[in-house]
Amino acid sequence: MPDRVVVITGASGGIGAALAETLARRGDSLALIARREHALREVAARCGDRTHAIVADVTLRDEVRRAVDDTLDRFGRIDVWVNNVGQGISRAPSQLTDDDIDDMMRLNVKSALYGMQEVLPHFLSRRTGHVINVSSMLGRVPYVADRSAYSGAKHFLNALTATFRAEVQQTCPDIQFSLVSPGVVRTEFGLNARHGGPDSRPMPDSQSAEEVAAVVADLVESRRPDVYTRKGAHERVVGYYASLAGDP
């Protein structure tokens, strides 16, 4: 496998940290981005000498731009950019506030938008590159009412990924934009949701962060446009919408 330079946002824990360790084991060079400096540097230390830690808040465009420049200064190029930052919410749709919506968009959509927009000039200059956006099954099927604003933000991210791909590939077909849709993952995601939430780790039918990371690592190789992290997930999505469809 070729040596790649991979940028991972939200790399201080959960899926991001597991992906960093997975890619480090196979020899990729890594730029890891997160706000929590101590946790980020612990992950970077586990990943070895070919890893560069960047403390930044990717919900701020200027900090994303700085992270791009910092990575290019260190490695000379970027091959893959993984947008992995996100946060859930626990609030019924009838109770949502302006701040709830703004936070979900800032964390789940704008963080990815800034990454895509700021790395794109570099990819265009090389006429190749790969963006991977980590979404959610809730971005496919809105079946948890208390996650309504999160689900809506991930639906937005899915559409943004597809339309970015359609735009850019008109002139640069070797620049790929991929989407990953995990289900419940055994991390602190649930506990860290806005307004709190149930612990994701003991939930039934969940996956480990390492299992999801393995799917994302394979995606770096395959460059497929759209993947799920569990067998049967695609069929579940198709079945949900089929159950809602009426006669034409």
Q: Catalytic amino acids?
A: 150
- Give the CA-trace dihedral at 223, 61, 140, 189, to 10 degrees: 100
Tokens of 41: 């540097």
The three-class DSSP label of residue 20 is: helix
Give the DSSP letter string of 71-92: HHHHHS--SEEEE-----B---
Q: How far is residue 4's CA from residue 122's CA, in Å, rounded to a whole number?
A: 15
Q: Exposed, middle or buried by CB within 10 Å (0-12, 13-18, 19+), for 60?
A: middle
Q: Which two tokens stand for residue 218?
A: 């394979």
Q: How many residues does the chain have?
A: 248
Q: Find tokens 């770096």 and name the residue.
A: 220
User: Which is nearest to 18 in space by CA: 182, 179, 156, 139?
Assistant: 182
